[in-house]
Amino acid sequence: SEQDENFRPNFHFTPEKNWMNDPNGMFYLDGTYHLYFQYYPEDNVWGPMHWGHATSKDMITWEEQDIALYPDEKGYIFSGSAVVDHNNTSGFGKDGKTPVVAIFTYHEPEGEKKGEEDYQSQAIAYSLDKGQTWTKYEGNPVLPNPGMKDFRDPKVTWDDINKQWLMALATTEKTLFYSSQDLKNWKKLSEFGEGNGAHDGVWECPDFFPMQVEGSDETKWVLIQSLNPGGYNGGSGTQYFIGDFDGTTFTPEKNMQNLEEKHNYWIDFGRDNYAGVTWANIPEDDGRKLFIGWMSNWLYAQEVPTSTWRSAMTVARELKLIKENNEYLITSQPAKELQKYRGESLQKENIKVDKKTVLLDSSEVNLAKAEIHFSFSGLSDGEIEFVLSNSEGEKMRILYDHAASKFKMDRTEAGQVNFSDKFSGKNAVAPRITKSNSMNGVMILDKTSVELFLDNGKTVITEIFFPNQPWNEFSVKSESGFVVDSLEAFELNFNK
């Protein structure tokens, strides 16, 4: 319908038709980034899961491909990962062709219905044409269910430090680690997470990898662990832990050994970034940790006001590990490839804000495809209200309370909200991690989403919205006053 196309993002990935959730099996090979995704091609709500497929030269512009994996008599194809098996450890390689191996969860819907516990197991498939077509391994499952409800979402990486394939797998309240030499035989190493961090939901979609601390030679291991519900703002969310890994056991940093339910280590504090994981096989001379997430939330994902297609992915992001005040933190920024789409730079400087001030309007930049950089100073106690608004008087409010060091996202008046009482009932809250009287940030806008990367990506907030007309103004209001030292906006060149 027309509305569906009005809401379809200008550049964030959406399937042409029907339902999508988690990103799966992302890998890079020979100039192409692959993105698979939880997909139900028959309807606009969740159903028997397939792996859809899209490819890109830059992780920004995507081309949808044929469905990669179909459900079969062993079950639905749930979330998982893919690796490029350069040394043919799996033996799937043939005629000098490098196998790509996908590791996914089989979900047996019948078993679930009957109330059994063991209806999820891990299986593999391989591709000899660089991810285009796949053959399921006849020996599946490679990791049968040991009698655990929720036993899914294998994320496999080559652990070059300990020379092993390493699988992080989620079960209800913990992450399980397994190792293998051939991707077929898996041995349990250890478990992590019981009683640590947020647990008001089921742990899903882990990711586990080493990262170098910015500006040093130090390496730490990062565990990304989504859960649903029980995210920072309820519903779906993605927390992380940082620590050491000795090849068998993950030991978090001291300050992360007994995290409370409500802690500050989240990949994103907004309501719409879930089940995100990182790309495999990024060349060493690039070395980035590149991430993408599902830009929705199980609280309302199946009710959002689009019908021909449902759900988008976040923009691809680069994760970094930093150490500040003796604490490790993950930051995110939009992948630098997005910069290639920048149009002309529009710059404004030294804007003193005390009453309502229009920062940008749609005659200057199209606010449905924009990248906006800002830096503020002179922040003082009192609230600052940023507003995206349209000709219908609808608005998306982004509030910053300096005294409380908190952001709030208010989408109660951001257009269509009544499709679910979970969508806008409460405001989302995000802590400001940095304490300072100045602030910088980047805001990425598409037709139905805002992604905020504040203080060099230390606080990230991603939220979706459904305005009945495009935003035509970005303004700010503050009683206490502050200064916009600089604002640089780019319209992004996407022709849709």
Contacts to ligand FRU by CB under 6 A: 21-22, 38, 49, 78-79, 105, 152-153, 204-205, 275
CA distance 369 to 61: 13
Neighbours of 155 (CB within 10 A): 28
The active-site residue out of 22, 85, 268, 272 is: 22
Structure tokens that stand for 328 in this block:
């490790």
Nearest to 102 by CA among 156, 65, 54, 61: 156
Distance between CA atoms of residues 333 and 453, nearest Å: 6
CA 447/CA 442 separation, integer angstroms: 17
Q: Kindly state the DSSP code that residue 78 receives in the 8-state scheme.
A: E
Conformational region of residue 181, where left means phi above 0, alpha means psi within -120 to 50, and beta covers everything else: alpha
Note whether 486 and 361 are within 8 A (CB).
no
Maximum CA extent, the chain? 70
Please list the alpha-helical segments (H only) found in 283-442.
421-424
Alpha-helical regions (H) of 360-437: 421-424
Please confirm, yes or no, whether 22 is among the known catalytic residues: yes
CA distance 209 to 280: 10
Report the distance separating Cα 490 and Cα 211, nearest Å.
31
Give 154 or 305: the residue with its C-beta nearer to ligand FRU. Answer: 154
Cα gap 352→354, rounded to integer Å: 7
CB 357, CB 476: distance < 8 Å: yes
Q: Give the list of residues 6+ apart from residue 493 with CB closer than 8 angstroms, or none.
A: 341, 342, 343
Rounded Cα distance, 246 and 244, in Å: 7
Query: Where in the sequence numbering do the catalytic residues fall?
Result: 22
